Amino acid sequence: MYTKYDSTSQQQMLRKGLADLTEDASSRPISFWVNRFLGPRIVEAWIRIRFENEVADRCLSAISRRDRLGSRDRGRLSEAIFTALRRRGTVDRIVGVEAASEREQASQWLATALEQTWPDGPEPLPFSESRTPDEAGNLPPLIINSLGPDFDGLLDLGLGLRQRAPVTLRCHGVSREQLGQELEDAGVHTQPTPYSPSGLFCQDGAKLHQLEADVRAQFEIQDEGSQLLAMLVGAKAGERVLDACAGAGGKTLALLESGAQIEASDVSAKRLARLRQRLGAEQHRVKVTTLPEQGPLPFDSPFDRILIDAPCSGTGTARRAPDTLWRLTAEDLSNYVAMQRSILERFAPLVRAGGTLVYATCSILPQENQAQIDDFLKRHNDFETLPLSATLGSGALDELGDQNALQLYPHTHGTDGFFGAVLRRQN
């Protein structure tokens, strides 16, 4: 059982220092439902995730299964831990993390802080000029250093990455207007996304699983940024298009809407099995290939377009997995950069003359994004960068502006962090 720390000075410190734990929840009373049942589990989860480097989702799932938590308690446990992870820098500064002997006490203090109820919401701490970027944005030093001193909007980026991501839908086989009306009739409120013409923000995500099967078949859950990357490919009917690192196939499904001949590949048979499952009755439309880790690729002719949605740090998805930023090490980042370079080298020869290669990541770090493109072009003078207008529709361009690369951020675009660039192989 965890110990409550009730001294006035400690409570005041926790209340003041952890006020911004819940500052984004001003629309509802602040309560994390911590009690003598959930308190010890918050302590255990925080120790395992913060100090033993376990992946948050896996740790929370393991505790929930072991203790047979109901859906309400699972949600409350996740709410508490993910809120704290989004402000990990603040939590660390308040409760301390230096000595291993202090870890349980620190986590107990966290549980006590989360247990406090502010009926009208806490007073958020102002971001004064005296606060450093990592204090205000809760970004780890590696992320700050990787972005570099010239990055504009560091504090806003940190705040954007710690917000909850919206539930975003991509229409499938119907117009956005038709799907929006059907969902409205079913009591699910939506609004159009600003960039993707096929996207809807869903305000009642919990209700989606209650919809009739024929309505659920008309959409996929996909972040608007991911939708834009699929659009960036510019696939057209009759073209031969390869989704080279297809994974579970979110962008493969979007590419099918173009009418192109889609092939999907990955080195992971497990991820491709998930893709086949998602394709369902559409499996006959996609040729799925499991690739060898090394050696020649099993394709007998070049492609009109290739999408490389490269393995990356995933730092752009921190709204959904807030421990991602803090788990990343310099060695991890170096390994990702090397892997991305290798993948580009492996697939570039498969682009036909005049065809295009789209390089994409869900990262916000320049080493994985524009720096990779610059490095690739130095080694391949037969490729050139195309502006976004070459493949993106005018609707998205009106909002995004015509550039030579697509860089999306939560604080400026409301999407996850994504990067995409279009490279054309010259004749």
Q: Classify 304 as helix, strand or coil.
A: strand
CB 368 within 8 A of CB 313: yes
Greatest Cα pair distance in the chain: 74
CA distance 328 to 309: 19
The strand pairing partners of 190, in sequence order, are: 202
Q: What does each C-alpha distance from 244 to 2, 97, 343, 398 come to in angstroms?
A: 49, 42, 9, 29
* DSSP codes of every residue in 158-201: HHHHTSPPPEEEEE-SS-HHHHHHHHHHTT--EEE-SS-TTEEE
H or E segment and range at residue 383: strand 383-386
Catalytic-labelled residue, pool 171, 202, 245, 362: 362
For strand 303-309 and strand 240-243, is the pairing parallel, antiparallel, or unpaired?
A: parallel
**Rounded Cα distance, 43 and 103, in Å:** 9
* Catalytic residue check, 362: yes
Tell me which residue has tokens 């205000």. Answer: 136
* Active-site residue set: 362
